[in-house]
Amino acid sequence: MRRRAKATMLVATGLVGSFTLAGVATVGASADDEVPMATGEVPVYGDFGGAVVTMNGPERSEEEAGALIQVLGAFAEANNIDFTYTGDADWESNINVQVEGGSPPNIAVFPQPGKLADFAREGHLVPLSDAVVDSVNTFWNEGASGYGNVDGVQYGVPVKSDLKSIVWYQPAQFAAAGYEVPQTWDEFTALVDQMAADGVRKPLCVGIESGTATGWPFTDWVEDLVLRQSGPEVYDQWVTNEIPFNDEHIVNAMQTVVDLWTEDNVYASGGSIAATAFQAGGDDLVEGRCWMHRQANFFASFIPAGTPFADGSENAVDVFYFPDINGDRPVLGAGTFAAAFSDDDATMAVLQYLSTNEYATARQKAQAELKGGGVSGFLSAARGQDPSVYLPLEQSFLEILNTAEIFRFDGSDLMPADVGAGTFWTEAVKLVTGEVDAQTAADNIQASWPS
Amino acid sequence: MAKLLTTILTVLVAVIASAGLWTIANLVFNQVERNWSRYKLLTGAVGGFVLGALIAGNRVTVGSEGNFFNWVWLPLLLAVCVGGGAALLPNLSDQRSRLLGAAGIGAAIALLITLLTRTAYQPALDWLALVLWTIGAAAVGAGLAIVLRRPVVPVAALIAALGALVGGWGAAEIGAGGFAETLVATAVPLVLVGARAGWRGRPDETEVLDIERRARAGVFLAPAVIFIAIMLLIPTLRTIYLSFLDARSEKLVGFYNYWWVFQRPDTWNLSKIGNFWGSRLLWIGAVLLLVSLVLGLVARQRTGRAVEIGNPTFLPLVCGTLFVAFALFSVWRGTIANNIWWVVSVSVFSTTLGLAIAVLADNRKLERTAKSVIFMPMAISMVGASVIWRFMYTSRDATQNQTGVMNALWVGLGRLSTGSGIPTYVIGVLLIAACIALLVAVARALVGQRWGAAAMPGVLVILLGWFTLRYWAVWGGGVGGFRIRDDGRIQAQAVEFIQNQPFNNMWLQVVLIWIQTGFAMIILSAAIKAVPTEFIEAAQLDGATPTQIFWKVTLPSIATTIGVVVTTLIVTVMKVYDIVKVMTNGNFGTQVLANDMANTAFQNRNYGGGAALAVLLFLAVLPVMIVNIRRMQKEG
């Protein structure tokens, strides 16, 4: 029963009311939805005569790409489609080259709706067929599918959901040290100071090294801070550049993050934050070198195998909601969207399957099996999934995603790629290494915003 | 299996097609002497067919979509028109009627094409562009003709036709024009081509032979020329063109992209230049330069020449200059500064090390083994080498064991030097012993008044002595990776080789030096072995020391090879990409032109900016390439 109680507590801290324990069990389906639960069978939409469908995306780990290929491969076989998926470590730049060179895949999985919108407006993407749009509307709420909608036309199929406003920690160790889960931002900073003063472990684990994408974890922190300090309206204006990037609100948020990331507060296994891989914090958290790690739900993949999740044991890891400032409980999330570069039936059939509860359930099942226990790293907010494939912890993630009143998509993924996957990252690295101050970094990013 | 079969089939078809084309081309050229009209008919028909295929194959014309035969008839029609015209016109003896006839055929074909052009392809003519491009191209053609000593009008007409094509179709907005505009855009180039064709009548005997000779040479040259054009020339021209367009290659923006490159602090950053005077490298360099000045004055009194390759002035002068240069690079930041830094340090160190190894290993035992080992890194890909070195440079938090070799050594040294166990004292005593031995060597050389022999141990004893003093904490509390905390306790401290600016650049350069030293060594070793033994024996008979033989005989003999090695290295280093991409992706102030170009163009999708950076890189490499090619031609 400890597990259940834990999940309840998490969601209670994350949400403003309207939560019941029964809600956890139905995975994202609110009472008035009439979506039948996934049956676990592979749907057959027809015989496509061995039509070739190629797909690529940034997911490439054994678990992620493996589960994707396993599930879509079974679907392709049942529908007589010649399907291949390629996971690409440098997908963000290679997809540009493929599109510019006139040889894009049939389907690409976009982690950035901003990039999807760019391609759609430039006429590279094909709008979804009516059948796929219907399927998307059946299984996804508008909050999620809206990010695949460009100027009123649906191009993207949501396939994966991420929750970012959470902090990983070890409840039993917290309790043993006499710390309590912070409910407000002031409590959070006070806790950080307390932990730094106690000196048993560093308060936070932070790493921003991520190969060619080095710097992105900083952008997540800034987004959460803008959302908390200045509210969703300012956040939306910031993302569309209605207010400039070097606006006071944004510079303040950046400064807050940097002020928090002091040498006393942060454990960085690489010696400094910029030299530490973002994945590295998993070991450090479990092996007792830091107390907290603010990172999205997919961070579960980087927690050492065999670590118990939220079962009340001594070393178990769990999450708490990244505290807010104004009591409005904003949630930062992200997700991936599949979109088509060609307008043929087989491609649309694959996209239709991607949008369904059947795919989400099968994918989660396959990925959990490949992972061999614990949190799978996959999460889908599609309606009508079989809840038994998710752990209670994962169900609570979904509950937060589906019921948050203020939900915002990862801002850097919505910005033009020049900024969101370019200067925002590089200037973040400069800021974190102390090469520039927050104002200069923000000025430089604003200067790079495409006109 | 199916893949293998298709591959074999493709290769077979390609080989047969190439052989067939080659045979047919030669058969056609047989007609030059035998039957001029038939030759013209055949070449004209081929030209017409290719033109038609290009137009219909790109689906410009009505009815060109759909199945194969829908687009074949236009090429065939054009083949008949052009071939017939080419066969008949030279028979007219009057140049004026020939010109009129050829221009008429060109205009007729233009009308035909225009009638068939789909509305979606009709260009909205930019008259000014058409006129300017045509006249400009004609001028270029005329100039070329004068330089190549060819008849001016035909060459100018042909190049002007190309210009008109670019001005009429390339500069226009496709799909927004009407019938008349399409006609003009099509007719101007075709009439110009007609003018070129009608300029000359039947050639006489000697001209025929000349034409045949050149045509056959052309068949052999064509594959190479086409290959170079497709892989090199057209991409280069297109890149230059793109560099004048905006980020998404839609609007002309003039030199904006070049201005953009230079106004960014990432390219050209002088904000830290004030630290120049505080740089330790500068002062070391200044001292060395001072030493070389003093030595130079002495040398001038003795031999009349202050600086000479191999005299005592030389080494401090070169080292001092390098130190000052590196001091400058460490404060002059940005992509361009980094690139120059790479060029200087990699070409200097790789060549020097390669030369040193080649000379020292020459005719020694184990020469082959040593050289193979040093050459080995050349076999590793740049990406592989970068990954290896990134692991070697890895740093970990002070409380952890260091997993990177470099930091393990550095932190280990720190532990040793600040520790108090037996190993610490053993090493310490050994260091002192080594210092004393070196001092004795210096003293003996000085007593014997062999100044040259004293130099090397002298420098070594200064460096080793400094190290020993640090090790025993006489000066600075110890040596290695440690730091003394506020409370007086000693803590391990790793070096962040990849993150610590600005000298992380040099740690990245080490990777390329490691790779390229083998290359320099192999080439220079071959050159050294090629130095005639007579020279060396003559020098030995004259009583020259090995040092003198190296500086005065060997080095001048291999000077050209050194030049080749240095220029090749410079070109390689200027284009350095993989190492930076893998190790930092340009973060931490290590950006270089090539990586900047790729990121700007393909990650940020700023194709204009990326193209501008590519052009700058091209311009920077060009002079070195020209020097290299000139020398190769001279040697040939």
Contact residues for A196 (Cβ-Cβ < 8 A; gap 6+):
A202, A203, A264, A265
**Amino acid making up residue B390:** R
CA-wise closest residue to B481 among B397, B573, B552: B397
What's residue A14's pLDDT? 37
The per-residue pLDDT for B70 is 66
Nearest CB partner across the interface for B395, out of A94, A211, A270: A270
Q: Name chain A contacts of B394, Cβ cutoff 8 Å.
A: 270
The per-residue DSSP string of B445-473 comes to: HHHTT-HHHHHHHHHHHHHHHHHHHHHTT
Task: Using the structure block, give the residue that is written with the tokens 């490691």.
Answer: B514
Task: Evaluate if residue A26 carries a pLDDT over 60.
Answer: no
Is there a contact between B616 and B594 (Cβ–Cβ < 8 Å)? no
Instruction: Dump pLDDT digits (tens) for B347-398.
Output: 999 999 999 999 988 888 889 999 999 999 999 999 999 999 999 999 888 8
Q: CA B414, CA B484: separation in Å to the nearest integer?
A: 11
Name every chain A residue with its beta carbon within 8 A of the beta carbon of B397.
267-271, 289
Q: Give the predicted TM-score (pTM) of the model.
A: 0.81
pLDDT tens column, B558-593: 998 999 999 999 999 999 999 999 998 888 889 999
Chain A residues lying within 8 Å of B496, measured CB to CB: 270-272, 275
**Position B213 pLDDT exceeds 60:** yes
CA torsion through residues B268, B272, B274, B277, sign: negative
- Put simply, the chain B residues between 361 and 400 with a CB less than 8 A from any chain A CB are 394-400
Task: Measure the CA angle with vertex A319, ends A313 and A323; round to 5°.
Answer: 140
B65 pLDDT tier (thresholds 50, 70, 90): low
Kindly tell me if the per-residue pLDDT of A18 is higher than 80: no
Given CB atoms, is A93 within the 8 Å cutoff of chain B? yes
Tally C-beta pairs within 8 A across A and B: 71
Question: Is the separation of the CB atoms in B85 and B101 below 8 Å?
Answer: yes
What is the three-class DSSP state of B611? helix
User: Three-state SS across chain A?
Assistant: CHHHHHHHHHHHHHCCCCCCHHHHHCCCCCCCCCCCCCCCCCCCCCCCCCEEEEEEECCCCHHHHHHHHHHHHHHHHHCCEEEEEEECCCHHHHHHHHHHCCCCCCEEEECCHHHHHHHHHCCCCECCCHHHHHHHHHHCCHHHHHHHEECCEECCEEEEEEECCEEEECHHHHHHHCCCCCCEHHHHHHHHHHHHHHCCCEEEECCCECHHHCCHHHHHHHHHHHHHHHHHHHHHHHHCCCCCCCCHHHHHHHHHHHHHCCCCCEECCCCCHHHCEHHHHHHHHHCCCEEEEECCHHHHHHCCCCCCECCCCCCCEEEEECCECCCCCEEEEEEEEEEECCCCHHHHHHHHHHCCHHHHHHHHHHHHHHHCCCCCCCCCCCCCCCHHHCCHHHHHHHHHHHHCCEEEECHHHHCCHHHHHHHHHHHHHHHHCCCCCHHHHHHHHHHHCCC
Give the separation between CA A81 and CA A280, rounded to whole angstroms: 40
* B328: contact with A, CB 8 A cutoff: no
Residue B147 structure tokens: 């330089």
Residue A93 has pLDDT above 70, yes or no: yes
Quote the pLDDT of residue B68.
64
A267 neighbourhood in chain B, CB within 8 Å: 397
* Of B597, B608, B606, residue with least CA distance to B245: B608
Question: Cα torsion at A149, A150, A151, A154 (round to 10°)?
Answer: -40
Q: Which residues of A touch B491 (CB under 8 A)?
A: none
Smallest CA–CA distance, residue B605 to chain A, in Å, is 7
| Residue pointed to by tokens 């396993």 | A70
Indicate yes or no: CB of A93 within 8 angstroms of CB of B399: no
- pLDDT per residue as tens digits for the range B323-338: 999 999 999 988 999 9
Q: What is the pLDDT of residues B165-178, one digit of tens each?
A: 888 887 777 777 78
CA pair distance A266, A257, nearest whole angstrom? 12
Q: For residues B439 and B448, give the distance between their C-alpha atoms in angstroms, rounded to a whole number.
A: 14
Dump pLDDT digits (tens) for B260-287: 999 888 888 888 888 888 888 999 999 9
| CA separation for the pair A340, A124 (Å, rounded) | 9
How many Å is the Cα radius of gyration of chain B? Answer: 34
Spatial distance between the Cα atoms of A359 and A107, rounded to a whole number of angstroms: 16
> Could you tell me the two tokens for B106?
């060109």
Chain B contact for A270 (CB, 8 A cutoff) = yes
> Tell me, what's the pLDDT at A294?
94
Residue contact B587–A268, C-beta within 8 A? no
With 90 as the cut, is the pLDDT of residue A166 above it? yes
Asked whether residue A9 carries a pLDDT value surpassing 50, the answer given is no
3-state SS class at B126: coil
**Cβ of residue B585 closer than 8 Å to a chain A Cβ:** yes
Token couple for A360: 């989400």
Chain B residues whose beta carbon lies within 8 Å of the beta carbon of residue A100 = 607
Which of A269-283, B242-256, B303-317 has the weakest average pLDDT? Answer: B303-317
Q: Of B116, B120, B121, which is closest to residue B62 (Cα–Cα)?
A: B116
Structure tokens at B224: 């190479």
d(CA B210, CA A383): 80
**B588 and chain A in contact, CB less than 8 A:** yes
10 Å CB burial of residue B474 (0-12, 13-18, 19+) is exposed
In this structure, the strands spanning A166-169 and A318-321 are: antiparallel
**Predicted local confidence at residue A30, as pLDDT:** 44
ipTM entry:
0.81
pLDDT level of residue A213 (50, 70, 90 thresholds): confident
Report d(CA B555, CA B549) in Å as an integer: 8
Given a cut of 70, whether residue A32 has pLDDT beyond it is no
| Distance of alpha carbon B599 from alpha carbon B119, whole angstroms | 38
Pick left, alpha or beta for residue A389 (phi over 0 → left; psi -120 to 50 → alpha; otherwise beta). Answer: alpha
- Minimal Cβ distance to A275: which of B496, B599, B603: B496
The DSSP call for residue B264 is S
Burial class (CB in 10 A: 0-12, 13-18, 19+), A295: buried
**B77 or A84, which is more confident?**
A84
**In A, residues 146-205, which contact B (CB 8 Å cutoff)?**
none
